[in-house]
Amino acid sequence: MLNYELNRADGILILTPLGPLQSTDFDKLVREVDPYISENGKLNGLMIYTRSFPGWGNFASFLSHMRFVRNHHQKVRKIAAVTGSGFLSIMPEVANHFVDAEIRHFDYGDKDAALDWLKAAGENNETPERRQQSGMQRVSTCLWFDDQAQTAAAFYVSLFPNSRILDTKYYLDDAPRPAGSVLTVQFTLDGTEYLALNGGPHFQFSPAVSMVAYCDTQEEVDTLWRKLCEGGKEGQCGWLTDRYGVSWQVIPRAFLKLLNTADVAASKRAFAAMMKMTKLDLAALNRAYQGS
């Protein structure tokens, strides 16, 4: 019997044998681990945590174990054998001859030290889960404000679900702006990360770059449009400029399905109707598509 725990954030698999190993243990393990490896390339670490090795239930179980090792040893960076078992304690010396991963033995009471050693393998190999948990997004958008970064970020966060301020940085002494004033604000809008910067009046926003908000209902369109337009300016075709000068497109998702359909004439009618609108009206767009 084999208990396993996959820490997806750190890319570490912990195996705890609780009884003689069975073929079904490795079948379940493959179903759990292989999708992670397909997505991330490798496991950063594998820990075998047991006071004593319980052996295999039968010869078929032994073969399943060997098959798992054969198919996965090149997909693990480090292996920690955390055990008081004499059999497993000599595993590093034996396995290093035919296993690609770096292997080290730890006494049974040194689980935390073994975990730290395994985590070090992933310091330069971040997983998507780790980036998400730490607020680290590989590609982000920076919005340059004069001095409104903090108020703008707070306003945007108030508009969308699953949104929050992640971090705020401040200017230090001898900087271009007063020490202690806000430098950057890191925030998320519905799970997507952005950065607001107070950089001074040197650059202005332009409709050439815009934020796009997709809405599931006309009610969402109406509400978001009203809030974003407060202190701002309506534009054409679902575009607007908010109070900070940032351009937005507020788009009902269903409208996208009306474009480039098999009925070319109908799609043209929907597009032509959109071109005459300020805020998009989904019902009117549907009527134009239907030709009614």
- Based on the domain organization, do 91 and 104 belong to the same domain? yes
Same domain? 164 vs 256? no
DSSP annotation string for 33-62: HHHHHHHHSSEEEEEEEESS---BSSHHHH
CB neighbours (10 Å) of residue 128? 13
Alpha carbons 216 and 224: distance in angstroms, whole number: 12
Better pLDDT: 285 or 101: 285
What is the per-residue pLDDT for 101? Answer: 67
Is the pTM higher than 0.95? The answer reads no
**Highest-scoring range by mean pLDDT, 18-32, 85-99, 258-272:** 258-272
- The whole-angstrom separation of Cα 115 and Cα 48 is 11
Q: What is residue 199's predicted lDDT score, i.e. its pLDDT?
A: 94
Taking the C-alpha atoms of residue 165 and residue 5, their distance in angstroms, rounded to an integer, is 32
Q: Is the pLDDT assigned to residue 102 strictly greater than 50? A: yes
Domain count, the chain: 3
pLDDT of res. 119: 81
Confidence of residue 246 (pLDDT cuts 50, 70, 90): very high
Regarding beta strands 43-50 and 182-189, do their DSSP bridges make them parallel or antiparallel, or are they unpaired?
Answer: unpaired
> 130, 159, 188 — which closes off a domain?
130
Q: Which amino acid is at 279?
A: K
**pLDDT, greater one: 1 or 197:** 197
- Considering the domain architecture, whether residues 112 and 179 belong to the same structural domain is answered as no
pLDDT at 85 over 70: no
* Residue 219, domain extent: 210-290
| pLDDT tops 90 at residue 123 | no
Instruction: Specify the pLDDT at position 136.
Output: 57
Residues 6+ apart with CB under 8 A from 66: none
**pLDDT tens digits for range 26-35:** 888 888 888 8
Residues 44, 160, single domain; the answer is no
Please give the residue that has the higher pLDDT: either 202 or 95: 202
Mean per-residue pLDDT over the chain, rounded? 85
- pLDDT tens digit sequence for 230-243: 999 999 999 999 99
**Domain-terminating residue out of 74, 98, 130:** 130
CATH code of 12's domain: 3.30.750
Assigned domain for 203 exists? no
176: domain CATH number is 3.30.720.100
Instruction: Check whether residue 194 and residue 270 sit in a common domain.
Output: no
Q: Are residues 44 and 124 in the same domain?
A: yes
Q: Is the residue at 170 inside a domain?
A: yes
Q: Is residue 148 part of a domain?
A: yes
CATH of the domain at 246: 3.10.180.10
Are 59 and 81 within one domain?
Answer: yes
Q: Which residues pair with 2 in a beta bridge?
A: 17
Residue 205 lies in a domain: no
